[in-house]
Amino acid sequence: MTAPVAAKAPPVESGTPVLAIRGAWKRFGAVTALEGVDLDIRCGEVLAVLGDNGAGKSTLIKCLNGVHRFDSGTIEMDGVQVAIHAPADARALGIETVYQDLALFDNLRPTDNFYAGRELAGPSWLPRSLRLLRRRQMTDSTRDVLARLQVTLPDFNAVVGLMSGGQRQAVAVSRAAAFASKVVILDEPTAALGVRESRKVLDLILRLRSENKAVVVISHAMDHVMEVADRAVIMRRGRKVGELIPSAETYTQIVSLIVGGGE
């Protein structure tokens, strides 16, 4: 089962991984979602995690962003072992996730969406909920991030609920990028988008890479993976069954690894 890894996938080496998972196991009752998975995530690299439904991709990602915990196994960041027990731990370590449902607040403007739950406010001697918002500062820095990532919105002060699917996705990805010092995880970033809007999101992913962030993309859209991913990890039934560089030559190999044709 693990033969293709040794045989065909020379891993791309580019320094020490910013995030490394070693021997990850996770069970839900009788179901084993992860069976000893190792994974390296590197800065300035787009890593695609591929696999059919139930392969363990989502479980793996949810353990990284603090929604679940591994039963056994370790997570290292920059070579130091870390504990991620809650979403707040992951955020504090510089890991941000863009969920498939985007988790945006449709009734709020982009700025408020960026800072929901981490508002800039003062003075610090007041209880957090009673602090005065630093509205100008939040607006300015949101504007800066969107400009840096070349995201153009029709109306910066409109609520997110009035934006198109692509614009909303762009806001969600930019929000993650703004607060992720290390790793951005994207769950099916192009799933609900048309061709042109997908294109813009893919461009955005490449811009995150050029900012030297580690980008992890979970996707079913093979075309998109082939285009932006530097490395693809293929999972099946809770195991990592392959790791290779996506290209026209490896396309069929990736597909057969996903569906299990290699057996």
Partner 1 sequence: MVTAAKSDQSAGGGRALPLDRYRMLQAALFSLRAGPALILLLLIIAVGLTTPVFLTSRNVGNVFSQTSVIAVLALGQLLVIVTRGIDLSVGSTIALSGVVGAIVFAHTHSSVLVIAAIVGTGLAVGAANGLIYVYGRVPHPFIVTLATLSIVRGIALWAANGTLISGMPSIVDTIGGGSIHWLPYSIFAVVGLALLCLLGTTRLVWGRWLYAVGGNPEAARRSGIPTRRVLVTVYVLSGLAAGIAGLLTAGLIDAGSPTAGDLAELDSIAAVIIGGAAFAGGRGNVGNALVGAFTIGVIRNALNLHNVDPFYQLMAIGVVVLAAVEADVLRGAIEGRVRVAQAMRST
Contact characters 39-58, partner 1, x per CB under 8 A: --------------------
- Tokens for 169, please give them: 């996705």
One-character DSSP codes across 59-121: HHHHHHTTSS--SEEEEEETTEEE---SHHHHHHTTEEEE-TTTT--TTS-HHHHHHTTS--E
Least Cβ distance, residue 77 to partner 1 (angstroms):
20
Q: d(Cα 45, Cα 5) in Å, to the nearest integer?
A: 19
CB nearer to partner 1: give 120 or 255.
120
Q: d(Cα 128, Cα 135) in Å, to the nearest integer?
A: 15
Stretch that binds partner 1, among 22-30, 35-43, 110-118, 226-234 (CB under 8 A): 110-118
Rule CB under 8 A: say whether 116 interacts with partner 1: yes
Least Cβ distance, residue 94 to partner 1 (angstroms):
15
Cis peptide before 189 (omega within 30 of 0): no
Nearest to 7 by CA among 205, 255, 261, 253: 253
Rule CB under 8 A: say whether 87 interacts with partner 1: yes
Stretch that binds partner 1, among 37-45, 111-119, 235-243, 244-252 (CB under 8 A): 111-119
Q: d(Cα 24, Cα 119) in Å, to the nearest integer?
A: 34
Q: d(Cα 234, Cα 154) in Å, to the nearest integer?
A: 38
Interface of this chain with partner 1, residues 150 to 209, rule: CB under 8 A? 150, 152, 154, 161-167, 194, 196-197, 199-200, 203, 206
Rule CB under 8 A: say whether 132 interacts with partner 1: yes
- Give the interface with partner 1 as residue ranges (CB under 8 A): 87-88, 91, 99, 103-108, 112, 115-119, 121, 128-133, 150, 152, 154, 161-167, 194, 196-197, 199-200, 203, 206
